[in-house]
Amino acid sequence: METPAPPAAPPPPPRPPHAGGPVPRLPLVISKRLLWVNGAAYPLENIVRVYTFVLRPRRADAVRTFLKRVGLTLLAGLGIGFFAFLADVFARGEEPGGFLAFLYQLSFLVIIGALIWFVVDMLVVVTASSHHVLAIETNGQSTAMVSGDPRHLHELVGKIATAIDEPDAALTVTVEALMISNPSNYYFGDSVNIYGGSGNTGVTK
């Protein structure tokens, strides 16, 4: 008697639409002890944590970085202008002339351009939205994250946890892809790894 062929792996999710379109949706599938998310397979026995959290932008960090950049830029501009003034006076033995005026204008344009870039870079983070996220961590360094309605994500935590304990579990649902431009602009949960040291008192939120 011939052994039936095993079911094929789930098809890859559709490609995300162009920027500015609706949030792309993708399948989350559990089949044959594998969890498929966005075309990537995660063995269920390697999953160590499944949880939901709110992915929040680093707004306070962005404002602090902006203020620090502005202060350093203004100090650098004042320093350059002061040393250029001294160099021009000592070199020519007279009041500063056209070269110093040109240097001042160039420094002014560079500072204005830098300040505009600092403002834009800060606003990208400050105006970013928070996202409800389902995170699936493995015993390596891989973490799968999807977004969606928070109630739906909480239900998925229980379903995935049940599938891990059931050898023949199967699950197929649709979730939203997590669309963020720069992951470093967000806080990813509240977990922390501490290696060595002393006097550790926990995590401060």
Per-residue pLDDT band for 15 (boundaries 50, 70, 90) equals very low
Question: What percentage of the chain reaches a pLDDT higher than 70?
Answer: 73
52 and 138 both lie in a single domain = yes
3 state SS of 150: helix
DSSP percent split of the chain into helix, strand, coil, nearest 5: 40, 25, 35
Q: Give the β-pairing of 47-57 and 40-43.
A: unpaired
Average pLDDT over residues 176-185: 83
Rounded to the nearest 5°, which phi and psi values hold at 40?
Answer: -105, 140
73 and 112 both lie in a single domain = yes
Q: Residue 105 sits in which domain range? A: 59-126
- Predicted local confidence at residue 123, as pLDDT: 94
Residue 6 belongs to some domain of the structure? no
Residue 78 belongs to some domain of the structure? yes
Question: What are residue 36's DSSP bridge partners?
Answer: 29, 41
Tell me how many domains the chain contains.
2
Residue 192 belongs to some domain of the structure? no
Q: Compute the mean pLDDT over every residue in the chain, rounded to the nearest whole number.
A: 77
Q: Give the β-pairing of 34-37 and 40-43.
A: antiparallel
Whole-number Å distance between alpha carbons of 187 and 61: 10
Question: pLDDT tens digits for 116-147?
Answer: 999 999 999 999 988 999 998 888 778 888 88
172 and 72 both lie in a single domain = no
Average pLDDT over residues 149-162: 90
121 and 68 both lie in a single domain = yes
- Predicted local confidence at residue 180, as pLDDT: 83
Question: pLDDT tens digits for 27-66?
Answer: 888 888 888 888 888 888 888 888 999 999 999 999 999 9
167 and 80 both lie in a single domain = no
- Answer whether 76's CB lies under 8 Å from 68's CB: no
Q: Which residues contact residue 78 at a Cβ distance below 8 angstroms, ignoring those fewer than 6 apart?
A: none
Question: What are residue 52's DSSP bridge partners?
Answer: 134
- Answer whether 147's CB lies under 8 Å from 131's CB: yes
68 and 101 both lie in a single domain = yes
Residue 197 belongs to some domain of the structure? no
- Predicted local confidence at residue 89, as pLDDT: 64
88 and 114 both lie in a single domain = yes
51 and 136 both lie in a single domain = yes
168 and 70 both lie in a single domain = no
| Whether the predicted pLDDT of 97 surpasses 50 | yes
